[in-house]
Every structure is written in structure tokens, then in C-alpha cells.
Chain A
Amino acid sequence: MRSSKLALAVALAAMAAATGVALTHAPLTVAGTNSVPAEGAGAVTNGHATSCQDGGAVPRGTSAVRVSLSAIAGPSVRVRVLAGSRLIAQGERPPGWGLAAYVTVPVEVVRETVAHARVCVTVGPAAAPVELRGRPTRTAPVTDLGLQTVRLSFEYLRPSSESWWSRISSIAYHLGLGRAAGGAWLAVLVLALMLGVVALASRLTLEEPLEESP
């Protein structure tokens, strides 16, 4: 029983600490783009392809690149940010991502703004076609287009200046919109319910079982 209590105390403390730390982080926001709209070109790639494209200005602090590739279960996607021939940052998204209109690839933090970057995208072996959304570089039937002939949309993401903590009141406000009975009180209700869940679960795990079956 004592070990159980200790385990619960440690686990709850760790959970509270982790939540606190997570909320000190800031959400990623778009710091810049390559100005290519992510339109449905209808082109696809079956993977095993690389394309290096004009990336425009990559802002300082960029820690992820959102690329206009979409798939049900996407292949690995590797992104390299180059200034001339110098590698500035790179990162890879493992396979399995999917069902979103973009793939976000975390990269090493870009220390200084790169005015005219080249961004190379490498798409790994794909189990299903990957849709390429962007602007075709030449007029051709959609079936003839591929990773090299579609300019993809790049969005450069970096942490915003506000942490999750400082956004709590605005989040509570947004949560109450588009509801039958709206209001920030919904956020308070969820918090209260979850505290109830934590209390109930804690009590149940600590309870000595009263019945023993044969």
C-alpha cells in the first residue's frame, strides 16, 4: 500500500510538472513562406525522389518547415535548408504521417535569416501516392508532373513570442465559441471534470481490494 501511495504521488507530481513545462512552451507560428500557394495541382509522386527548390527567405528561429505534401500514410520526408552550397539546417519526418493537407518537418533551429535559401525535399519510398500541391513549373498533363516539376509551398515555423500559459484565457474564450451553450465557463467545466477524474482514479488505485474470489 505504501509503495502504491508513493508511486501515485511521484507519478502525479511528474505529470503536473510535465504539464507545467509543456505550457511554458510556445506554439509554432508561421514566420515566413516561399509565397507559393498550396493549390491542388493534382500531381503525385510515388516516392524515391528529391527536389531542390527556391525557398525564398528562411527566417531566423525557424524550427520546422511545413511542406505542401499530403498522403494517407506518408513516406519519410527529409528537408535540407541550404544557403548556396552550405547546409543551414536539416530534419526528417519519419514515415506514417498522414491525412493532413501538409507535412510538418522539424529541422535544426536556423540561427540567422537566410535571404535566398534553397530547400531540398527528399521523399522516401511511398506505400501510397503522395499528393503534391503547389504550382507546376511547366504546362503538362497532371500525370506527367512530379516532385521536380511542381513548386511546393513552404511555410517556415518558429515558436511564437507567447507561451501556452499566456494564451489560456484566449483559449478558454475560443473553446466557448460555436457551441449550443457557449462561454469560457466550458473550459472551467472541463477542468473541474478532469480534476474529478484524477481524484476518482487516484482513490480507486489506492483502495485496498475488499473482495477475494476463490
Chain B
Amino acid sequence: MSKRGSTRAPAKAPAKARSVGTRSFARQARATGQRTGRRPPRPSRPPSERSLKLRRLLERVPRAAWLCALVAILNAVCWSILTPPFQVPDEPSHFAYTQQLAENLRLPRSSEYSFSPEEQVVMSDLHQREIQGRPEARTISSAAEQRILRGDLLQHPSRHGDGGVGGSAVDPPLYYLLETIPYGLASAGTLLAQLELMRLLSALMAGVTALFVFLFIRETLPAVPRAWTVGGLSVALAPMLGYMSGAVNPDSLLFAVSAAVFYCLARGFRRGLTPALAYTTGLLCAVGFLTKLNFAGLAPGIVLGLIVLSLRAAGALGRRAALGMLAGSLSLAASPVILYALVNLASSHPLLGIASTTLNLATRSGSVFHELSYIWQLYLPRLPGMKDYFPGLSMPRDLWFDKSVGFYGWLDTSFPAWVDNAALVPAAIVALLCVRALLVARAALRRRVAEIAVYGAVAVGLLALIGASAYYKAEESLGLAEPRYLLPLLPLLGVALALAMRGAGRRWAPACGTLIVTLFLAHDIFSQLLVVGRFYG
């Protein structure tokens, strides 16, 4: 890499030497500016090797990818404004976790809901508990209520809780550590200012997600540039992404990390695994483990991907080097978990800290067959001979599909049933077009069966983790059937949409792609209107 960097830098000098006359120079300068979208470096201060490398890396990202990221950020910012404070699942708990880190400089002590006096005052003045789960209740709507809120905040209630941050206590700390930055930047203001700035950081993560989804599609379907835009843009406009990334929630970082990992795998399958790519993937996995426990569901598929890619790389790099690369990346990936376990072991705490209490549930005895049957039925229609775990419900339709159409606020805000029915039509068309594209390209698919199997394993791993969690927490099992938990698989949705565009055939593909994007745009706009009507109508 460094060699490439040193050869590119002096290449700028001959470019100058070639120019003849001011017109030619101006033309060349304009062309350079158009290509790179930035001014040439100042001759007085040559950029360092590292910055050149980074610049070249960023320049290789298509402009459309940056614009997709911008769309996702703007969309999430809109959602962050439209959703009232603390009216997204577990946001009070996630805020409390950040506050605990920032104010008490400690990890949460328990899953009890003993937030700081300041947070409790704000939640009370905003009628948070009265609104949650009651779609007929609105947010504060009078100047008098606003005055009470302001007056209470002017009393400067304490920001120090006693370490009980609710359900988020089991989450790893990385996202919350990042959130302490906007929290600290807005610390001179009120809690509401801190919350809004923290939401904006999540919105930036939506941009990262859209960017990597675009790049993932570029690697998986390299011959169809329009498909990259269609897939990337549709994901950027997905209302569920905007809604979750417009709030304080570690899911927003999880989506971004997952999209980046998918991109790394796709890059490895297309261009071959290099040590840099292997270690980057390992590092991203470490970030994922430090973000949310759900990342564990993606891990088996990622490990499989790294093994397959290392085996392929063994031909070029040698078996020993490939094995070393694999071991290095896996060690890097597992390092946070191992380090955390060792620290807990040394301090006589449960092996995985507070998370151990959650995981202990999974040790209770139960038939593997029952568990598999349960997980199957959570996503797919029941097969003959299976015990009916969800009587009266068609899980794929009534839960996963309908709730993907709209499930906002504290999961108490959804579209009328006729909208769910109507949404089946475009969803079915997109699915058929996608299947058609797969059938047309079946020969190419056969050549990429290992790659597809790896993506499948990543997806199945996540679905199995969610299913197993639901199985072992019987009292809240159906509550775990939330489409947002599937958003780490957004890159696969992006590819499916890109394939659907291709499935329309060469002639109709551009129009089909446009319609897919506008479908997501419409879904997003009407979802926002739904939320506006629910909270402020």
C-alpha cells in the first residue's frame, strides 16, 4: 500500500509539465477538480503518506454512495425531530446508561429503573409513561406544561443516578461511550439538548449504514451501477432505519457495523482476502461485540466467511500465511469478549457481568427439537407434526410483515390493517422480480454458492439468536419479534432490491429502479405523517 502511495504522489508533477498554455492548464485543473471534487493539495505543504492513502481510499468511494449516506442522515435527523423525547423503545434506559458513564464514570450497576433525578423530572413533565403504549395520548400540548418543564429544568436536578439504568444494563458499553461525546458537548444545556445531540450522532450512523450498504451492493453486483444506487438509496430511505437511528439506541451502531462487515466479506469474495481486509473484519467484529449482544448472532456466519476466504487466499499467500491471517482476525474479533471475561474472572464477578444473568436463562433444560420447532414457527409457517406455538397468528404475515410496514413510537403506533394488506402488492411484485433475476442469473449464482452460503449463515445466525432468546424468555417471547432486530441484515435487503430492479429486464430496469426508490420514499413520508398524527394530532 505504501508503495502505491509513493508512486502516485510524484505523478502530479508530470501532469503539470504536460500542460501547454493557460487554457490547457485551466482545462486540466477543471477536469481534476471534477474528478476528485476537491482542490489539489497546496504545494507548500505536501500531505503525509497516511492522509494521501486515506484520501485515495475516500476518492474511490463513488459520489452516489456519499449522497446515499447524506439522504440517510437527513432522513434520520427528521425522525429525531419528529419523535418526542423518550418515545422510542428503551430510549430512557439508553440515555441513563450514557449519563451513568459520563457523570459517574462507571458502568451500570443493575437493571433496575432508578434513573437520575433530572431524567425522572423530564420524563414526568413530558408525561412519558402516560403516552407510552397509549396511541390516543398526545405529547405535552400547552404553554403551561412547557413552563413547568422549563421551570423544573432550571432547578438543575441532579444528573447522578445510582447506577440502575434499566434493560440496557446488559449492553456492552461502546455505543454509550461514543454517546458521551455529544452528551458532554451539550452538557451546558438541558437534558433535552443533550438528548437531541445524542440522537444526531445516531443519525450519522444511519449514514454509515447506507454508505456500506451501497458499497456492499457494488461488490456483489459490480456490473450494474444503477443497482447500487437503487439498493443504497432504498435502504437510506427505509423508515425503520430512520426511526431507530433518529433515537438514542445502540442498534444504530450495530446496523452500521453489520453493514461494514457485510461489505468486507463481499470485498473479500470479489477481490480476495488480504491481511488488511482480514484484520479490518476482525476489528469490526470486535466493535460489533462491544456494541450489542445481538452481534453474537452474526458471528458464526462471519467466522465461516473468514474461513472460506482464508482457504481461497491460501493459494496466493501460502497456507501458513493464510492461517496466520485467519487466526489474527479471529483473535482480534474475540478479544473484547475474552478481555471482559478475564477481568470479571479476576474480580470474582459473573463471567459475562450483568449479561450473565440474561444468558443463564438459556441454560435451562429443554428439548432441542422443541426449540428448533419454536424458532422455525417464529419465522415460517408451521409444518405438520409441529406443536402450535403461536395459535391464531401467522407469524410471517401478522408479525414480521405487518410490523415492518409500520411499528413506531413505543411499538404502539401502526398503520390501519388495510395499509398492511395493500403493502402486500408491491412487496409481492418486488419479491417476484427478485426471484426472476435469480433464475436468470442462476449460472452465475452457482459459481458464487460459497459466498451466498456465507451471507445465508450470517442471516440464519441472527434469526436463530432472536428465536432462541424468545424461546427462553417465554413471558416476553412475542415482544422479541420486532423487525428492528433484523435490520443488521439491511445489506441483504439492499441486494434483494437491486436484484428486483434487474429482474425487470434491461428495458424496464431504470423505471423499475426509480419506482422502488419512490416506494421507499413514500413509505418513509407516510410513516412520518403517521408518527406526527399520533403524537401531535
Contacts known (A15-B521, A127-B389); A197 close to B78, Cβ less than 8 A: yes
Q: Are A209 and B412 in contact (CB under 8 A)?
A: no
Dominant SS among interface residues on chain B = helix
Is A200 among interface residues, defined by CB-CB distance under 8 A? Answer: yes
Q: Are B133 and A101 in contact (CB under 8 A)?
A: yes
Closest chain A residue to B64 by CB distance?
Answer: A204
Complex interface: chain B residues within 8 A of A181 (CB): 193, 196
Q: Residues 155-184 of chain A: 1 if any B CB is under 8 Å from the residue's CB, otherwise 0?
A: 100000000100100010011011111100
Q: Are A211 and B233 in contact (CB under 8 A)?
A: no
User: Quick one: which of B393, B410, B515, B525 contacts A73, CB cutoff 8 A?
Assistant: B393
- CA of A183 to CA of B368 in the docked complex: distance in angstroms? 56
- CA of A3 to CA of B513 in the docked complex: distance in angstroms? 11
Is B386 among interface residues, defined by CB-CB distance under 8 A? Answer: no
Interface hub of B196, B414, B525 (most chain A Cβ within 10 A): B525
Number of inter-chain CB pairs below 8 Å: 215
Q: Are A94 and B398 in contact (CB under 8 A)?
A: yes
Q: Are B477 and A128 in contact (CB under 8 A)?
A: yes
Complex interface: chain A residues within 8 A of B186 (CB): 180
User: Quick one: which of B67, B402, B514 contacts A8, CB cutoff 8 A?
Assistant: B514
Contact residues, B17-44 vs A (CB, 8 A): none
Closest chain B residue to A27 by CB distance?
Answer: B537
- CA of A47 to CA of B393 in the docked complex: distance in angstroms? 12
Is A99 among interface residues, defined by CB-CB distance under 8 A? Answer: yes
User: Quick one: which of B77, B190, B237, B410 contacts A99, CB cutoff 8 A?
Assistant: B410
Complex interface: chain B residues within 8 A of A209 (CB): 64, 225-226, 228-229
Is A87 among interface residues, defined by CB-CB distance under 8 A? Answer: no
Q: Are A171 and B536 in contact (CB under 8 A)?
A: yes
Binding site for B on A (CB under 8 A): 1, 3-4, 6-8, 11-12, 15, 18-19, 22, 27, 30, 47, 66, 70, 72-73, 75-76, 93-102, 104, 106, 124-128, 155, 164, 167, 171, 174-175, 177-182, 186, 189-190, 193-194, 196-198, 200-201, 203-207, 209-214
Q: What would be 26 A-B contacts, judged by CB atoms less than 8 Å apart? A: A1-B510, A7-B515, A8-B514, A15-B525, A66-B136, A73-B481, A94-B398, A102-B136, A126-B391, A177-B141, A177-B145, A177-B146, A178-B149, A180-B192, A180-B193, A181-B196, A190-B81, A196-B74, A197-B71, A197-B521, A201-B518, A204-B64, A209-B225, A209-B228, A213-B222, A213-B225
